Amino acid sequence: MKRLLLSILFFLLLIPAFSQIRESAIGSMEEVIYGRKNGMALTMNVLSPKAKSNNRGIILAISAGLQSNFDMALEWAATIAQPYLLKGYTVFEVCHGSAPKYNNIEIVSDLHRAVRFIRYNAAKYNIEPNKLGITGASSGGYLSLMMGTTGFDADVNAKDPVDRVPGNVQAVACFFPPTDFLNFGKTGLVSLGTGQLSDYRAAFEFSVWNKQDRHFELITDQAKLLEIGRQISPIYQVTAQSAPTLIAHGDLDELIPLQQSESYIQKLKELNVPCELMIKQGGAHKVWPDIMNYLLAFSDWFDKYLK
């Protein structure tokens, strides 16, 4: 529980690190419904820059411990979003269905829906549809990597026109993401809501619908769970078409081992995908005092690969 609370509060602690921001760079903010599921709306905040638009979009995956909410998005608007807005990026703060109500697969699906919605409505938001970047931290970083490696295909016959466009992004920059749940910290160590990730067990519980008895049955077969573990691990989705990726990770991170980012970057290098790993010496799984330096590096990365 302690780790869960630390993750949820991660970005609430950012305000002191951004005390040098004297005036908001937000020109306007609009809450938008990008999809619906189970009778509920999925929402994002669209932040238009006060500065001249550069016609590019940055998605902020509002996620900590695979939980997401509007209050967190408001904190991000005042902190994380500012460096991107100052450069003229339109920022999309995407909230997703939260664990423990929704599992990992369902949450990834929400983000793909958001990317497709943004791309489909690109003209409305005055951005280029194929110039989208994404960022986040921890579970938000994980979701960022999934958007950089999956979602290339679109259902051209979908009833909803939003689903007829791809759900991938063109650049990723994120903090300390999990990347391989089948080798978590060391080779062969499986962590699907177990071990270091035991506080997040519900997000790794998957079920199938039993038509005869009309109820959901929890999947317990280990072979099937390992198959799902591979499916939800970004490292196994990497191809030569994956988005250029910059990751910042601390070498003292006790929740998400540095090994996760190291192995992911190595995989990108093997396929000649532009990538870089910034290692924070003494960095733990929390806000770093010099986080602004990393955000500026992220914005430069987006400048390079989106412009």
- Model confidence pLDDT, tens digit, residues 249-270: 999 999 999 999 999 999 999 9
- Quote the CA–CA distance of 90 and 106 in Å, as a whole number: 26
Residue 3 has pLDDT above 50, yes or no: no
pLDDT band at 215 (very low <50, low <70, confident <90, very high): confident
- Model confidence pLDDT, tens digit, residues 133-174: 999 999 999 999 999 999 999 999 999 999 999 999 999 999
Q: How many CB atoms lie within 10 A of CB 54?
A: 20
Q: Three-state SS for 135? A: strand
161: left (phi over 0), alpha (psi -120 to 50) or beta: alpha
Domains of the chain (ranges, CATH numbers) = 2-306 (3.40.50.1820)
- State both tokens at 300: 């430069």
Residue 207 has pLDDT above 70, yes or no: yes
